Structure 1
Amino acid sequence: MRLYTNSLRNRIFFSMMVLTIIASVLIAGMSIYQFQEQAKDYHEKRLFRKEQAIKENISYVIEKTDFEVTTDNLKNIFKEEIYGLSAIHEMPIYMHDLQGKLRKSSKAQFVSDSKHSQISSRILKKLRDSEDGRYVEKFEIGGQSYRSSYSYLTDNQFKNIAILNLPYIENDDFMSYELEEFLKRLGLVYALMFFISIVLGYFLARYITRSIRSISDNLKQLDLSKRNRKLEIDHKGTEEINTLVESYNKMVDELEESAVKLATSEREQAWREMAKQVAHEIKNPLTPMRLTVQSFQRRFDPTDAEFKEKLNEYSNSLIEQIDVMSNIASAFSTYATMPAQKNEETDVCMVTQLALDIFNESNIYYIEDADSLKAVFDRTQLIRVVTNLVKNAIQASHPGRENKIVVSVKHDDKKIYLTVSDNGTGVLAEHERKIFEPKFTTKNSGMGLGLAMVKQIVENFNGTIHMKTIYGEGTTFTVTLPRS
């Protein structure tokens, strides 16, 4: 099955999939962030609550002690009580003097604790600069997060006598477990949502693009030659789709109107072209007929011993041209190709000589390399080809020299070559490509249909025609026909 990756249907489908995946990732990310923020808030509040509770217990001990409440007496005041407080609140307790030196610890006396023996000057400064007399520092050791709270202890007159340090381990095992379980459930939910999105996206994309697909299929089948089917408007569809359907139906109506106008214009143009071609084709045989009659008038002599033979010759020439005109009229009346094509075996040498007989010019020379060469060609149309080419050669004569026209019929094993050469004016290089185009002419008179007609006739019988020319020296047309 071919996948049209750029189709609107697939774009809608993949967009829904991408949106579902993006939503899943964003919600998962926000959930992780929310859990982290909750854990952070939980540890901050829990440390603050423990600190407050320990400080309340310390205040109670200070109120009940018989020792003078001074920094130096902290060891005596909390000689045993500090261990109880540490056990109750499940965290170590360190008491420092105001210069940061350790004075009392909840750890046993024989345990060395160099890390908490002295508070750094940086922390002391942070504590002094704090507005509420409290400073909390976060750090990590071996991948484990810690918080360390520093706050002032006061005597009964609210005078600072010591610094309370409470190290707190951020144990996120339970929250990590909760987050992991939540993400598992969220993953299952989104896997189900993704599957539903695939199904829903597929059918939704098909539904949205159904009318567009119908319009696309109808556009592919649009044909000016027949009546095109309109689309029905789905009143349950979207406004945009219905507007598109209305536009398509309007276009179909406009195309039908344009098709009618185009057909009418084409018919009118065809009639004009046909009229021009008919006029040209009728004019072609009229010229040699006129020349034949004029020649007959000049050379007519009732006492000539060859009178009957010459009369028959002239009559045959006239009959040939009259047949051409008759064929043209018949083809025009039946709307067929002019003139009607007959596939018959024709002697190219004999017909060529017959076509040349109508020309009285003494500068036309005929050459052949065989007495008879046969090809499948309409006899009448072959005469038209020869007369057109010879007539063009006559009209292309050079004013500065005597015109010479050579017509030859030669052959090889498979082809017959009919050539008409002249030493006339030749054809300009920029006109060579256009010489066989309809309506193109280099003469002051004529409609430029002669050579186009010759080319069409020759190609209808599987032949070819080529031109070689040198401007100012002459031109040679070569008609190549398959031998029968």
Structure 2
Amino acid sequence: MSYLIIKKSIEGHSKTDMQNRFEALMKSLDYALSHTNVTENNLAKILQDEIYQIADINKHDVIIYDLDGNYLVSNKDKALVNEKKLPNNILNKVKSSDNRYDVKTYDENLGSTLTSSYIIMRNNRLEPIAIVYFPVYHSEDEYYEAFHKYVQYIILVNLFLILLSVWISWVISKNLTKAITKISDLITRTTLLGKELRPIKYFNNDELSGLVKSYNKMVYQIEDQKLLLANKQREEAWREMAKQVAHEVKNPLTPMKLLIQNFVRKFDKNDPEIESKIKKLSKSLVDQIDLVATVASAFSEFAKLPPKNDENFDLKEELENLVRVFNEGGNIYLHSNRKEIPINMDRVYLSRIFTNLITNAKQAEREGVKSVINLDVELLNKKVIIAIQDNGSGIPKDKLEQIFEPNFTTKSSGMGLGLTMVKKMIEEYKGEISVKSEEGRGTKFTIILPTNV
């Protein structure tokens, strides 16, 4: 294993070294051409002097061919260049790709590997003007020779350590194997009984009895804490819910009380407008009573979702109809990557989800900034990804984590159940919802739903 790792490291080092040389050469060439308007016709003239300096600095030969594979210019004498024209197979592969094309051969005379690298050269306008050829000779033998000795040393050391570890393990485990095996069997049987933790029955008085006692004590403590925590969480949830219900009910009761007190204080049966005032009072009281009923209904809906009536329909068409209802200002835009997106779910659930999110987006409009709401719908691998993004006031960072919690709201009015219900309905379909927001820039909700089709 060590040998393979070292060998891979050597090969990686060799490839990295060659890549660094290649990039340095290309940067030198790009720099030489960066201040001139270069074309295929004047390239040889521009580089005829500078190519010697580039090759000298990088200590590598550079040969440049035109786009038909004919020799143009090099730091070497033309008579010493073996290939005056590139073979067609290499030429076609280089021209068909923007990446570097490498050809490896072995030079038996030099005992080295020759990597012939070809790449298209482009001018400042990114137009192809030539083909650059870098011949790179490199030998890995010198690396292998040094590392072979190192590998031999590592093998000997590892072998010694393995033997020593086996002997020490045998000595240490000899006296404890039987007891540990018994405890292991007991713990294994305990964990297989179910999710509940159960104490281990162990009656021997040996080195492991203290461990068993500690484990059993921990089991009892964990069970007690689980019960306490569950009760505390239930109490806390009901307490918070009761506080929210009381708060929401109290809001309409206070103006109702003030209205009646004020009416009684100013009541005059001879007042010619007494009938009109009674009607106004009655209407105000009815409105406040309706608000209390709305609060009760909202908490009732939160406690129990309506039954689902799943059916197959086109999600895009359904969203288009929904957007049409809210798009009186023409500022809501729907985008989709498919003409039709089939989905199987409850239309009412879908309508409630997006009615809530679109309403929130409209209410987040900043003063002096025209509201723009984008709905992007994508169908990918049996899943629908829907993004709803606005350019509104955004949500503060410290409140983002609470956005889906019951009774949390950033609005001056409302019960804070809308997004909680949205998340609950999405999770009913094994979906996910997430939010990103930046104050003063807007908010983006992302929903992922399985199509179930």
Give the TM-score of the pair, scaled to structure 1: 0.36
What TM-score do the two structures reach when normalised by structure 2? 0.38
